[in-house]
Amino acid sequence: MLKGFKDFVTGGNLIEVAVGLIMALALFGLVQALIADLITPIIAAVVGEPDFGALSFTINGSEFFYGDFINALITFVSVAAAVYFFVVVPYQRYKEARGIGPGTKPCPECTTDIPEGARRCPHCTAQLDAAAAV
């Protein structure tokens, strides 16, 4: 029973997830600082409001802090843009350069992804028949 727990805790997937989470939290702190220290002041210089968090309005005695929402929205859009341009786009280019993508199939010999129209596997050099190439 303890061996199973030890295998679970020291298993590769759990360690990879933990490292990914730690890196995500560090990136989140970095993006928060970028938003608070650079982007918000630039927007505030254009709009004229130095702190969006203080923006609010009142209806029948209830105060609505829409400035916090604006800050959260700026953070979300900035994180989404950073992830897209610095992770997704380079990874898509990497996959295209390697021939991995929607138009791929597994090689019948080595099971790596190869382009659908390939007649020979670039990894194991297996000759593919015409029916397998289509």
What is the mean pLDDT of the segment spanning 102-131? 82
Q: What band does 37 get if pLDDT is binned at 50, 70 and 90?
A: confident
Only one residue has tokens 């992770």, namely: 87
Residue 133 above 50 pLDDT? no
Mean pLDDT lowest among 2-11, 20-29, 60-69:
2-11
Domain 2-98 CATH superfamily = Large-conductance mechanosensitive channel, MscL; domain 1 (1.10.1200.120)
Model confidence over 60-81: pLDDT tens digits?
999 998 888 887 887 788 778 8
- Give the pTM: 0.50
Rounded percentage of the chain residues whose pLDDT exceeds 70: 89
Between 59 and 78, name the one with better pLDDT: 59
Element (H, E) at 105: strand 104-106
Inter-CA distances, 98 with 19, 85, 128, Å: 26, 19, 19
What is the mean pLDDT of the segment spanning 3-18? 74
Task: Round to whole Å and give the CA distance between 52 and 69.
Answer: 9
Task: Round to whole Å and give the CA distance between 97 and 110.
Answer: 20
List, in sequence order, the alpha helices (H) in 48-88: 66-83
Residue 59 above 90 pLDDT? yes
Domain ranges of the chain: 2-98, 103-134
At residue 88, φ and ψ (nearest 5 deg) are -65, -50
Helix (H, G, I), strand (E, B) or coil at 64: strand
Helix (H, G, I), strand (E, B) or coil at 62: strand
What is the mean pLDDT of the segment spanning 74-93? 83
